[in-house]
Amino acid sequence: VPKESMKKASTFQELRDIRTNLHGTFGLVPTMGALHAGHLSLVRRARAECANVGASIFVNPAQFGPGEDLSAYPRDLERDLALLEEAGVDLVWTPTAEMMYPAGFQSWITVEEVSRPLEGKCRPGHFRGVATVVAKLFNAFSPDRAYFGQKDAQQVVVIKRLVQDLNFPIQIVVCPTVREPDGLAMSSRNAYLSAEDRRSATVLYRALAAAEAEFRRGVSDPERLRTIMRSILHAEPRANVEYISIADPDSLIEVKELAGPVLLSLAVRLGKTRLIDNLLLGG
């Protein structure tokens, strides 16, 4: 039986009309497009677990700060649609910014404490934009499950909190970070890297992996891991470190002792490109 082709919705009403006629479990993969193997791993997982799979492509202006890369963010809608169709997505929504945030829009969602440290400190307002658009996507698609990458570790914490606090009947499925063969975490922003910066970009994973090896040796002082990561990052002259964090994976508060699971996370600038990566240890 030939597979029915992927349905495409532009307006909210078009999306609802198609969604209403899809029966059985629904899995959602929210994206900002510029798809890579990480996104496709989310679609594959959703395809394996759900009767229907939906995806959204929307570069959400509300999660970019002034002076950030909103206008430069890579966009290739035709390619993204072809990849989603090939991966077996049933329904894709590609709203415009005017549809998502029409004139008069003024209802924002702030997930308070877990939005504050790390990315929240470097990118004020970022998680308010993420939480608001994700809540809108959840309302639009009514998924049973929604799929996110561990690559954006704090985003996952924020979204889990949002789902719990606002009683969305949605299971959040977190999928492992997909890496290039040299360890660099897949990200749409890797496209910004010059050849030299691309070579230096392995420093994030090298720092995390060295700290992981030390963690496995059973050290109890998080400062030991911080020192290892700092020395590897500082040995890369092109890298400007924004933060190195060793935090509780749920509260994102920095730990004073390595007694349970911890989230190691980093943000590093290489030239104009800002990269993040993390490892969850002992989980």
Span of 26-34, 165-173, 252-260, 269-277 interacting with ligand PAF by CB under 6 A: 26-34
**Residue owning tokens 């420093």:** 203
Report, in Å, the least distance between residue 6 CB and ligand PAF: 18
Q: Which two tokens stand for residue 220?
A: 């109890």
Query: In the complex with ligand PAF, which residue's Cβ is closer, 268 or 276?
Result: 276
Q: Enumerate residues 54-113 that contact ligand PAF by CB under 6 A.
A: 60, 63
- Binding ligand PAF (rule: CB under 6 A), the pick from 32, 178, 232, 247 is 32
Catalytic (active site) residue 39: yes
Q: Does 130 bind ligand PAF (CB under 6 A)?
A: yes
Q: Does 31 bind ligand PAF (CB under 6 A)?
A: yes
Report, in Å, the least distance between residue 10 CB and ligand PAF: 17
Binding mask 183-212 for ligand PAF (x = CB under 6 A): ------------------------------
How many Å apart are CA 193 and CA 199, to the nearest integer? 9
Residue 113 is classified by DSSP as G
Q: Does 133 bind ligand PAF (CB under 6 A)?
A: yes
How many Å apart are CA 148 and CA 137, to the nearest integer? 13
Helix or strand holding residue 115 (H, E): none
Q: Does 132 bind ligand PAF (CB under 6 A)?
A: no
The single residue of 36, 39, 126, 234 carrying the catalytic annotation is 39
> In Å, how far are 38, 131, 235 from 108, measured between CA atoms?
28, 8, 42
Q: Which amino acid is at 87?
A: A
> In Å, how far are 38, 166, 210, 238, 254 from 187, measured between CA atoms?
8, 29, 22, 19, 25
Report, in Å, the least distance between residue 127 CB and ligand PAF: 9
Report, in Å, the least distance between residue 152 CB and ligand PAF: 5
Q: Which of 124, 117, 182, 176 is nearest to 152 (CA)?
A: 176
How many Å apart are CA 67 and CA 256, to the nearest integer? 35
| Contact positions vs ligand PAF (CB under 6 A) | 30-32, 60, 63, 130, 133-134, 152, 155
Active site residues: 39
